Chain A
Amino acid sequence: MAGSSSSPGLVDTLLQRSLDDLIKALRSHPAGEPSIISRALEEIRREIRSTDPDTKSVALQKLTYLSSLHSIDMSWASFHAVELLPSTSLSLKRLAYLAASLSFHPSSDLLLLTTNQLRKDLSPSSPSPILSLALEFLSVAASPDLARDLTPEIHSLLSSPKPPIRAKAAAAALRVFTRCPDSVRIAFKRLVDNLDPSSDPRVISSAVGVFCELSASDPKPFLPLAPEFYRLLVNSKNNWVLIKVLKLFARLAPLEPRLANRIVDPICEHLRRSNAKSLVLECIHTVAVSLADYDHAVRLAVDKMREFLSCDDDPNLRYLGLHALSMLGPRHSWAVEENKQVIIKSLNDPDPNIRREALHLIMGMLFDSNVVEISMLLVSFASKLTPNPEFCNEILGAVLLACGRNVYELVMDFDWYVTLLGEMARNPHCAKGEEIERQLVDIGLRVKDARSELVRVVRDLLIDPALLGNPSIHRILSASAWVSGEYVEFSRNPLEVLEALLQPRTNLLPTSVRAVYMQAVFKVLTFCFCSYLESLDDGQILSSLGNTISGDGCQEESDAATVRFVTNDNTMVGSVDDDGATDCMPGSLMGSVKLNGPFTHESILYMLNLIETSLAPLSECGEVEVQDRSRGILCLIHMLREFQVLNCNEEALRKDCRVIEIANLMTGVFSQELGPISASAQKRVSVPDGLILKDNLADLTAVLGEEVEVSGSVTTSFFHRNHHHVETGDESKTSTESTSLLSEHRKRHELYYLPAEKDEIQSNDYPPANDPQLPVSQGGASEDLVEFTDQPFLSRQTKPTKPRPVVVKLDDGDVQHNSAPRPTVDLKDDLLSGAVRDVLFGNEDKPKQSQMRSSKSQRRKKDPLTSVESASHLKESVNFVHVEHGSSSSKSSRRHSHSTEKQSSPGGSMDKEERSHKNSMNSHHHHRKNKHRQREDVLSNLVPHTPVIQDFLL
């Protein structure tokens, strides 16, 4: 009711709607929200300009509400928030700070206006609530300038007598340090002081949190604080603090070998004792990241992981258990082996995140020794995942990625892998057509020895009419057609392939794929016809023509053909290769199939008829690619038919040199073998002299204006070529030079015909395809999982039965470089850690010019992390030692004197309790872990630059 009565003419103060009114209005008309909001914004814009602070604050409050919960932009009102900041009333100040901290960014322009007010509010004499507000605001909105200007205030607040304020100041210091690295030099020591055991626990907690955050990008400068952290690790009872300290040690331990030795026992103690799962989890992480060398710690951590994994009622713990296992990595694969059953069961978890984590874990454990088992397990599992196509494809994608990585690095047995690809293609939910397509073609090009198996696999795919109805695998079929055409000489039964390529249901394919099919038909036809002619040349075989031919005869025939080719003229060099390859095939392969081998006169005629009837309708197809190719093939057939001899008898055909010539021409076209192409191949082609590639051709349009316009009609004539037959006939007579041109064209474009995808234009005369039948009932998945678990998961003992075939690799540009560039540290982070280093190592007197430091840090960045780094480290450490010795001088701070005492006089300020604890631990250590001791000694001998930090640790 209040909403309807506000009219612009009345005094705002009296009739202003409160926040409650606004919320009620929004709640009572959920549908009219936008209009209510826009009306409220109108009011707010008016009210916020009021001179009355109460009216203004209510308007600001309403705006804050709309901004934070309805994503309304309130940057325009920043100034009004700043206006209210100085108010003396706490409630107004609170509202102003809330509005400011919700709406200001570090990049906001108006931040400059707040500096003075913040300085006032941050003075140590301000009341706590105001200090809290100001610190919170600073932590959200600190810009570099603001951080620099307010560093003195933070510095003094870090030693405030009120613990909550000190804690908050520490948190705000985190932002101040990251935004303005120079402030580290001023305030960092105060922060370190807050780690003192006498400090309030919440201050310690807050300070540790800050160190933990700061060390995330570069932990190295924090090494000198290790003793303080160690003390907390051993003494603190606060789990929040312990978690942060563990995080810190996880980062520090890899930098300092002896540190790991010290912390391993306290961490194991926490692992054993603690009831808090969060602390246990953090211990597990620390062990996995930094203590992987300590077998007993890893053992303990793995036991805890197993506890997590077995929590059937807590998906959180199961997820974290899997995640922790994958952190252990391939080095401790026994841990994965131990929990194999649970991991595989997790693949069927109702939670997709857990399934993904399990998959990720399994893929992380893939070696060349177990890739076969695991991939087969996963692929057959995926085929049973009927209710969950998304995850099924995730599995397939992971397997494809892992096996295809670095040119099939992991794959030893390509026959197996090719079969696996075929199996994946048959998965009813497979949506990875693109990648399978790529790999099928790629393996064909790269791995010679896999071709025969490849051809067998793709034949099975091509022949299955059901697969044609599944649009998601059309790409795979495209690759299959290409493979079966390109390597037709490996086919047991080319006629069968031809039938498959021409089956009526191929009209379900998109035209781009049909074009590939047709090219494959062309290749198969060429191959069949030529081998037929070759067989005719051999007199022995004439008698058996027309009969069913036995395997022996076929073998003889192919041998004879080879002989003939070897003694043939130069144009047939390529064919010799092809035929040689045929010869390499095992005899059993050829002999086992009835229809195989020498083509009879009848089969050739049948083939020609089949092609003619199937392709005839396509010669009028609207799609140029299909039309073009179908016409090409039809022309060839037409031309062959012109030789009447083909229709009467073989004898005449054999004698007809024109037919032989055509056959030679045809084999010549496809004779050259295709290979993988380097990604940088194009770049390596040198530009011929006189060829200007970067010339501006704009002037040409003026000259050639008319011709360019005509181009439209050119394309239409392209569609209706009437003299096609004659042309091709002429072409066939011009001999070898066109052959080489064609082969070159083919080489250039053939591969790239594959991926183009276009919509199906042709009308579908055939009934729609049935969806592929689901191979297994839906409930079967989980039961089948149980049997998988019996299989060895990480068996390394399996040995490849045959040597790995040669995989063609190119020198450059072929393999994708997987190694990511080394992460470069942000310059700011580097400045920050440089500053922290300077403070902790006592180099405050250094010149403060950022440029100098940045150049220095850049140098450091370039250095390899080994010797040079250690040298600079050594130098700094020497400085530090110097300061340590001269710590009696006036400039040493409280902490310094404290720590010096600690090191110089063992009986000094160090807690007796702690020391005795350490001693007992050491003796304990000595008894049980002699090995580690020795290792430690060896290490300290080996690494000369580490002893400098030793002082802190011992």
Chain B
Amino acid sequence: MINFVLLISRQGKVRLTKWYSPYSQKERAKVIRELSGVILSRGPKLCKFVEWRGYKVVYRRYASLYFCMCIDSEDNELETLEIIHHFVEILDRYFGSVCELDLIFNFHKAYYILDEILIAGELQESSKKTVARLIAAQDSLVETAKEQADSISNVIAQVTK
């Protein structure tokens, strides 16, 4: 099971955090500090696994961003690397060659995509196409709803003022 997902930039800035096991706010900050220290200091030619407090942290670097997932000691590291890659590919498809800035300004969308892929720390959807389709459908729903709401609220605002 995946216990949490972290996205950390090379400078140590957090870009996304998702916790599938309960961690208090204090623990979360501590975990992020600890792990970013460990992972960012590792060279590019080293293996992508870190043993940490009885868990394993699997990470992978894409450009300036480290994608880290913490898994149980019995879990399969290579599978987790594949999940990370899967996530990145879907992000890439959604944003059109994704970059760090996309994730910074659309952080909630990154969460929506992640929620389609992982639930309760388990891989949900292994098809990239399906995820893209689901997210697009949601987006269009939201868009049409917004347009309606906007027009209505405009009308109401004009009436009340």
Chain B residue with minimal CB distance to A251? B74
**Which of B16, B45, B79, B108 lies in contact with A240, CB distance below 8 A?**
B79
Contact B47 A75 (CB under 8 A): no
Counting CB contacts under 8 A, is A106 at the interface?
Answer: yes
- What is the distance, in angstroms, from A21's C-beta to the closest C-beta of chain B? 11
Contact B79 A174 (CB under 8 A): no
Contact A353 B122 (CB under 8 A): no
Complex Cα distance, B47 from A320, in Å, reads 9
Chain A residue with minimal CB distance to B104? A23
**Which residues on B sit within 8 Å (CB–CB) of A69?**
13-17, 107
Contacts A202-B125, A278-B82, A350-B45; is A172 near B120 (CB within 8 Å)? yes
Complex Cα distance, B146 from A89, in Å, reads 8
**Which of A140, A205, A351 lies in contact with B126, CB distance below 8 A?**
A205
**Which residues on B sit within 8 Å (CB–CB) of A621?**
none
Contact A320 B145 (CB under 8 A): no
Q: Give residues 200-254 of A contacting B (CB, 8 Å).
A: 202, 205-206, 209-210, 213, 216, 238, 240, 243, 247
Q: Give residues 16-51 of B contacting A (CB, 8 Å).
A: 16-20, 22, 24-25, 28-29, 32, 43, 45-51
Chain A residue with minimal CB distance to B51? A353
**Which of B51, B79, B124 lies in contact with A243, CB distance below 8 A?**
B79
Contact B141 A319 (CB under 8 A): no
Residue of B24, B49, B77, B125 ringed by the most chain A CB atoms within 10 A: B49
Complex Cα distance, B94 from A950, in Å, reads 50
Complex Cα distance, B29 from A277, in Å, reads 34
Contacts A71-B28, A350-B45; is A167 near B124 (CB within 8 Å)? yes
Counting CB contacts under 8 A, is A945 at the interface?
Answer: no
**Which residues on A sit within 8 Å (CB–CB) of B22?**
105-107
Counting CB contacts under 8 A, is A576 at the interface?
Answer: no
**Which residues on B sit within 8 Å (CB–CB) of A320?**
49, 77-78
**What is the interface residue range for chain A against chain B?**
35 or more
Contact A23 B119 (CB under 8 A): no
Contact B124 A168 (CB under 8 A): yes
- What is the distance, in angstroms, from A81's C-beta to the closest C-beta of chain B? 13
Contacts A71-B25, A243-B79, A247-B74; is A174 near B49 (CB within 8 Å)? no
Counting CB contacts under 8 A, is B127 at the interface?
Answer: yes
Contact A71 B32 (CB under 8 A): yes
Complex Cα distance, B79 from A277, in Å, reads 9
- What is the distance, in angstroms, from B92's C-beta to the closest C-beta of chain A? 20
Contact B142 A278 (CB under 8 A): no
Complex Cα distance, B19 from A68, in Å, reads 10
Counting CB contacts under 8 A, is A65 at the interface?
Answer: yes
Contact A132 B51 (CB under 8 A): no
Contact A213 B1 (CB under 8 A): yes
Binary contact readout B109-124 vs A (1 if CB under 8 angstroms, 0 otherwise): 0011001100110111
Contact B122 A210 (CB under 8 A): yes
Counting CB contacts under 8 A, is A293 at the interface?
Answer: no
Counting CB contacts under 8 A, is A676 at the interface?
Answer: no
Contacts A64-B108, A70-B14; is A216 near B130 (CB within 8 Å)? no
Counting CB contacts under 8 A, is B81 at the interface?
Answer: yes
**Which residues on B sit within 8 Å (CB–CB) of A65?**
107-108
Binary contact readout B40-68 vs A (1 if CB under 8 angstroms, 0 otherwise): 00010111111100000000000000000
Complex Cα distance, B153 from A54, in Å, reads 10
Contacts A71-B29, A316-B81; is A94 near B142 (CB within 8 Å)? yes
Contacts A105-B22, A210-B122; is A281 near B77 (CB within 8 Å)? yes
Complex Cα distance, B144 from A89, in Å, reads 10
Counting CB contacts under 8 A, is A679 at the interface?
Answer: no
Residue of B13, B18, B51, B111 ringed by the most chain A CB atoms within 10 A: B111
**Which residues on A sit within 8 Å (CB–CB) of B51?**
353
Complex Cα distance, B78 from A277, in Å, reads 7
Counting CB contacts under 8 A, is A136 at the interface?
Answer: yes
**Which residues on A sit within 8 Å (CB–CB) of B29?**
71
Contact A281 B78 (CB under 8 A): yes
Contact A89 B108 (CB under 8 A): no
Chain B residue with minimal CB distance to A67? B25
**Which residues on A sit within 8 Å (CB–CB) of B105?**
20, 23
**Which residues on A sit within 8 Å (CB–CB) of B25?**
67, 71, 73, 75
Counting CB contacts under 8 A, is B138 at the interface?
Answer: yes
Counting CB contacts under 8 A, is A868 at the interface?
Answer: no
Contact B111 A98 (CB under 8 A): yes
**Which residues on A sit within 8 Å (CB–CB) of B153?**
54
Contacts A90-B138, A140-B20, A316-B77; is A350 near B119 (CB within 8 Å)? no
Complex Cα distance, B16 from A65, in Å, reads 9
Complex Cα distance, B142 from A350, in Å, reads 51
Counting CB contacts under 8 A, is A61 at the interface?
Answer: yes
**Which residues on A sit within 8 Å (CB–CB) of B104?**
23, 27
Binary contact readout A45-79 vs B (1 if CB under 8 angstroms, 0 otherwise): 00000000010000001001101111101010000
Contact A202 B46 (CB under 8 A): no
Contact B77 A206 (CB under 8 A): no
Counting CB contacts under 8 A, is B149 at the interface?
Answer: yes
Binary contact readout A89-111 vs B (1 if CB under 8 angstroms, 0 otherwise): 11100110010011001110000
Counting CB contacts under 8 A, is A329 at the interface?
Answer: no
- What is the distance, in angstroms, from B158's C-beta to the closest C-beta of chain A? 15
Contacts A202-B126, A205-B123; is A90 near B141 (CB within 8 Å)? yes
Complex Cα distance, B123 from A809, in Å, reads 54
Residue of B18, B46, B116 ringed by the most chain A CB atoms within 10 A: B46
Contact A353 B50 (CB under 8 A): yes
Binary contact readout A166-181 vs B (1 if CB under 8 angstroms, 0 otherwise): 0110011011000000
**Which residues on B sit within 8 Å (CB–CB) of A71?**
14, 25, 28-29, 32
**Which of B48, B79, B115, B126 lies in contact with A316, CB distance below 8 A?**
B48
Contacts A71-B29, A91-B145; is A318 near B47 (CB within 8 Å)? yes
Counting CB contacts under 8 A, is A139 at the interface?
Answer: yes
Counting CB contacts under 8 A, is A315 at the interface?
Answer: yes
Complex Cα distance, B19 from A27, in Å, reads 25
Contact B124 A206 (CB under 8 A): yes
**Which residues on A sit within 8 Å (CB–CB) of B74?**
216, 247
- What is the distance, in angstroms, from A74's C-beta to the closest C-beta of chain B? 8
Counting CB contacts under 8 A, is B99 at the interface?
Answer: no
Contact A278 B126 (CB under 8 A): no
Contact A316 B138 (CB under 8 A): no
Complex Cα distance, B81 from A209, in Å, reads 17
Counting CB contacts under 8 A, is B134 at the interface?
Answer: yes
Contact A281 B76 (CB under 8 A): yes
Q: Give residues 235-294 of A contacting B (CB, 8 Å).
A: 238, 240, 243, 247, 277-278, 281-282, 285
Complex Cα distance, B67 from A78, in Å, reads 28
Contact B123 A240 (CB under 8 A): yes
Counting CB contacts under 8 A, is A755 at the interface?
Answer: no
- What is the distance, in angstroms, from B115's C-beta to the closest C-beta of chain A? 5
Counting CB contacts under 8 A, is B98 at the interface?
Answer: no
Chain A residue with minimal CB distance to B116? A132
Chain A residue with minimal CB distance to B22? A105
**Which of A68, A164, A316 lies in contact with B107, CB distance below 8 A?**
A68
**Which residues on B sit within 8 Å (CB–CB) of A206?**
122, 124
A-B contact pairs, 29 of them (CB 8 A): A20-B105, A23-B105, A27-B104, A68-B17, A69-B15, A70-B14, A91-B142, A94-B112, A95-B108, A101-B115, A106-B22, A107-B22, A132-B134, A139-B120, A140-B120, A172-B119, A174-B120, A202-B130, A213-B122, A216-B74, A240-B123, A240-B126, A315-B48, A316-B49, A316-B81, A318-B47, A319-B47, A351-B46, A353-B49
A-B pairs with the 5 shortest C-beta distances? A278-B78, A315-B47, A139-B120, A171-B119, A351-B46
- Which residues of A does B touch, CB under 8 Å? 20, 23, 27, 54, 61, 64-65, 67-71, 73, 75, 89-91, 94-95, 98, 101-102, 105-107, 127, 129, 132-133, 135-136, 139-140, 164, 167-168, 171-172, 174-175, 202, 205-206, 209-210, 213, 216, 238, 240, 243, 247, 277-278, 281-282, 285, 315-316, 318-320, 350-354
| Extra contacts besides A68-B14, A278-B76, A278-B82 (11): CB < 8 Å | A65-B107, A70-B14, A91-B142, A94-B138, A132-B115, A135-B119, A171-B122, A213-B1, A243-B76, A282-B76, A354-B47
